[in-house]
Amino acid sequence: MQPLNELYPLLNNPRRVVITMHQKPDADAMGSALGLYHYLVRLGNQVTVISPTNWAGFLNWMPGVNQVLDFEKDPEKAAEHIADAEWIFCLDFNTLIRTKRMETSLENAKGDRILIDHHQFPQVEKFMYGKSDTGKSSTAEMVYDFIIESGNDVKLNNEIAQCLYAGVMTDTGSFRFPSTTSSVHKMVARLKEEGLNHSQVHEALFDNFSESRLRFIGHVLLNRLYVFFEYNTALITVPQADLVKYEIKTGDTEGLVNYPLSIEGIRLVAIVIDRGEERKWSFRSKGNFDVNVFARKYFNGGGHKNAAGGGSKDNLENTVSHFKLAMRENKDQLSTYQF
């Protein structure tokens, strides 16, 4: 994989470009993709953004989201764009398998694949150019760096600012995670200079849900939260019946894993959601407990040191039992309880 900066001199020649992201994109995936979209369009490129799947409704305010193709809804049209692209920017994922059914189209594409990502262990052999930096707060911050370092910061505008701010703000937990470096605050200051209304973005992301979602959260915290104080661990289990009862849509469970982090002493939080075809895990941690390693070892997943995900084809009861076993195996790292 060649360094990303080797692309900078080539940006003056407009190309057919596809930008894509991981399945079920969050605000960082969609925000970084649309931020890059607006930038490359301003440079004269012909750009198409493709999501491997649908996305949460709270992202629909983003400038340009109405132009995004859903691969699962229109695979033939999306595949044609991928096959025709000269450049394919792959944002916020480290391996092609994270694009679900779109993986084959990306694998067979003749255009150069370009990686911009901040997850560990990138599939570097699959990309012509790229940068993977686990020290970065978000892919949105990396796209911002791409714009600045390529010498085209004059192309920044309010549309780009809104998209990139959404990504960096959510991936830093509203700037409270350790990944919030001084460069993040400098980035936000520059985006404010472009006219960014940060309060408006925050409201669009966090104050735009249904009543049933709020009741769902209350139900989950009351009835589905288990705290293992001897392991400084909290576990949330969400059966499929709860998703149906409260009419939960894509994105409605976003952020739920963070609630138990507010409990004093908790070092590890896990949530498992029964999605029917798979049980989806999310993990968060405080301090030095590495959930990236934990997710890779036990749940075929990965991510970052303090935020990761995974999955299981086992049923809900068995995958929860597997988690409890894994928790006990990591007692020495998790427990400070004195018997």
Report residue 222 as tokens.
């009351």
- 169 close to 138: Cβ distance less than 8 angstroms: no
Q: Which strand (E) or helix (H) includes residue 242? A: helix 240-245
Residues 297/299/305/308 CA torsion (nearest 10 deg):
170
Q: What is the pLDDT of residue 339?
A: 45
Among 319, 254, 308, 267, smallest CA distance to 121 is for: 308
Q: Which strand (E) or helix (H) includes residue 330? A: none
Judged by phi (left if over 0) then psi (alpha if -120 to 50, else beta), residue 276 lies in left
- 94 close to 121: Cβ distance less than 8 angstroms: yes
Q: What is the pLDDT of residue 46?
A: 98
Q: What secondary structure letter does DSSP report for 40? A: H
- 14 close to 47: Cβ distance less than 8 angstroms: no
Among 241, 223, 237, smallest CA distance to 318 is for: 237
Residues 200/202/203/205 CA torsion (nearest 10 deg):
120
Report residue 311 as tokens.
């999955």
Q: What is the pLDDT of residue 178?
A: 87
End-to-end CA distance of the chain: 52
Q: What domains are defined for the chain?
A: 2-206 (3.90.1640.10), 211-334 (3.10.310.30)
Beta bridge partners of 18: 48, 88
Q: What is the pLDDT of residue 277?
A: 86
- The values of phi and psi at residue 116, to 5°, are -135, 110
Q: What is the pLDDT of residue 338?
A: 52
Q: What is the pLDDT of residue 177?
A: 87
Q: What is the pTM of this model?
A: 0.88
- 251 close to 206: Cβ distance less than 8 angstroms: no
Q: How many CB atoms lie within 10 A of CB 315?
A: 11
Among 327, 293, 325, 324, smallest CA distance to 310 is for: 293
Burial of 283 (0-12, 13-18, 19+ CB in 10 A): buried
Per-residue pLDDT of the chain (339 residues; tens, 9 = 90+): 999 999 999 998 999 999 999 999 999 999 999 999 999 999 999 999 999 999 999 999 999 999 999 999 999 999 999 999 999 999 999 999 999 899 999 999 999 999 999 998 899 999 999 999 999 999 999 999 999 999 999 999 999 999 999 999 999 999 988 889 999 999 999 999 999 999 999 999 999 889 999 999 999 999 999 999 999 999 999 999 999 999 999 889 999 999 999 999 999 999 999 998 899 999 999 989 999 999 999 999 988 899 999 999 999 999 999 999 999 999 999 987 554
